[in-house]
Amino acid sequence: MISHCFQAITSEAYGVNSHAGEAWLAGRGHLPHPRRATFKQVSPARRLAFEILSAVERGGYASDLLAARAAPLDTRDAGLASEIVFGVLRYRAQLDYLIERYSGKPAARLDDPVRLALRMGIYQLRYLERVPAHAAVSESVDLIKRARKRSAAGFANAVLRKVDRDPVAWPSPAVELSHPAWLLERWESQYGAEAAAAIARANLRVPETFVNAETGRIQDIGAQAIVPLLRLERGQTFLDLCAAPGNKTAQALAAGVRAIACDIHPRRLAPLMALGIDLVVLDGTRPLPFRRRFDRILIDAPCSGTGTLAHNPEIKWRSQPGDLADLQARQVALLEQGRRALAPGGRLVYSTCSLEREENEDVVATVPGALVVETMRRIPGREAGDGFFAAVIMADTP
């Protein structure tokens, strides 16, 4: 247990001062009375996609939900469910524009299940070549019926039967690139119009899968570039202050360091138990409980995640400009506490998977300039993989 691991480090060395079942989400688990409603069989892939997209609307994350719920499906159904889920999230702005184009009604005015089923249907009809049109139409309509929106079934059927693959004159770059306008404007300001468009287009593509040769884990190629900046050596003490989900921790362990991994949430540390290292639940923005300082520290800070939108497209629809100030305050506090725990001659890496200046350069600017010895930036559409920022910071002179 993680609590036992906390006990393990109270030593002289460091001196510590659902399963969803078969119930439909839309029906709250109650099957309709057979005399009142009968439904065609909806494929497991489309049923799961609808459930997951509904859960994402309520704040869930598609990758986590698919990992938890797709296991019972065969490979083909799981693949189709994933394709629909991520396709709808990546192309949401285009799909909502097409709903209005084909129906004459703004997508925002439709009931949630109706809008969601229409997005799924239009995505399959326009963007997936191997899906039979009759299946995309009929099952999307049946999902609406199952969601107890039977009165909208005829409307949805009529809309979906108008869908074609003709070229579309999109009304704005935000719709064409399927990103919020405010986010595109920020990237244009920071990186230029061409780079901003390249970032957005990269976010619409299915991300390439990379495997870390040292750990055998699937890990984005951009994420793999962070740990080498620490210049780890065997026997060094290493603190991973925001360790979950543990890919970078495992990468550091391959260098032979003596590691402690921390996170604020116990459940997020649970997957790291297999690494066989000391785990500590703590809030890294507050004074750390270690008396001894560390040779190497990694702060892979919680951030907006705008560099990971190909993997996590829902982020772009739920993020707001005002979120950055709160994130920055936490990031500055993490960096301050991390620097206090760094041994003389030590090396700290601060990193984010954000493209935003507030979370990167502005945070690092709180450190005396002479101590920042290197920075790295990876931008989607320019480098392979997700977007990352990292700064290498040396310890203060004793």
Residues designated catalytic: 353
- φ, ψ of residue 322 to 5 degrees: the values are -70, -15
| Beta strands across the sheet bearing 237-240 | 278-281, 258-263, 237-240, 294-300, 342-352, 388-394, 372-378
The candidate with the shortest Cα–Cα distance to 350, out of 211, 245, 248, is: 248
The candidate with the shortest Cα–Cα distance to 98, out of 107, 90, 89, is: 107
Contact 392, 374 (CB under 8 A): yes
Cis peptide before 245 (omega within 30 of 0): yes
Q: How far is the C-alpha of 243 from the C-alpha of 232, rounded, in Å?
A: 16
Matching residue, tokens 């390439």: 208
Q: How far is the C-alpha of 390 from the C-alpha of 185, rounded, in Å?
A: 23
Q: How far is the C-alpha of 102 from the C-alpha of 221, rounded, in Å?
A: 40
Measuring CA to CA, how many Å separate 46 from each of 60, 82, 182, 304?
Answer: 18, 10, 32, 30
Where helices occur in 247-313 by DSSP H, the ranges are: 247-253, 266-269
Where helices occur in the chain by DSSP H, the ranges are: 2-8, 44-57, 62-69, 75-90, 92-103, 112-127, 133-146, 153-160, 173-176, 181-191, 193-204, 221-224, 247-253, 266-269, 314-318, 323-340, 361-364
